[in-house]
Amino acid sequence: MNTEVPRSAPEEDWLRLDGQICFSLHAASRAFNGVYRVLLKELGLTYPQYLVMLVLWEHGETPVKRLGEHLRLDSGTLSPLLKRLEAAGLVRRERSARDERSVQVRLTAEGAALRERASEVPRRIVSATGFTLDEIRDLRTRLDRLTSALDAAALDAAALEETPGRP
């Protein structure tokens, strides 16, 4: 894989906002959030709460730690989400009988029933994109590859920072 950065573009072009992939991803994310906000309002969920529900609908009862791993969220971000979902009667949190340090999250009957109403959300999102299913799968594959590459780069950068003797 060629990871060489091309030098042909004038240096000032590298700092144009419209040339930044991070900004394109940021703008797309904000646009997605706008569409999700409208669709999820009907379900009484915010986008982050919807993501929690997706994991629980897919995996069933899950430890908070594992939920955080699935969603790439730390417990400080996840705990308030879970409290609001619990207050809404959609999930229950309970300490594990086997390990009191672990908190299990499970759907209530109301949370499980919400799955059926939520099943239309992905279809409506696909429709909003104007993409075919194949285009969406291809985009998701590329974004997953991008995420993996950036995770690896972040680990490499962190390792360099921790190298003894570096100023």
Give tens-digit pLDDT for 71-95.
Answer: 999 989 999 999 999 999 999 999 8
What mean pLDDT is reported for the chain? 91
Q: Contact 83/103 with Cβ under 8 angstroms? A: no
Indicate the number of domains in the chain.
Answer: 1
Range of 92's domain? Answer: 24-114
pLDDT (0 to 100) of residue 99: 79
Average pLDDT over residues 105-109: 97
User: For residue 12, how many C-alpha atoms fall within 13 Å in the half-sphere facing its CB?
Assistant: 0
Cα separation, 89 vs 65, whole angstroms? 21
Give tens-digit pLDDT for 7-43.
Answer: 666 666 888 999 999 999 999 999 999 999 999 999 9
Residue 154 scores a pLDDT above 80 = yes
Task: Judge whether 86 lies within some domain.
Answer: yes
Task: Judge whether 11 lies within some domain.
Answer: no
Task: Judge whether 152 lies within some domain.
Answer: no
Instruction: Give the CATH number, domain containing residue 49.
Output: 1.10.10.10
Entry pTM: 0.84
Tokens of 84: 């609001």
- Percentage of the chain with pLDDT > 70? 90
Q: Contact 70/53 with Cβ under 8 angstroms? A: no
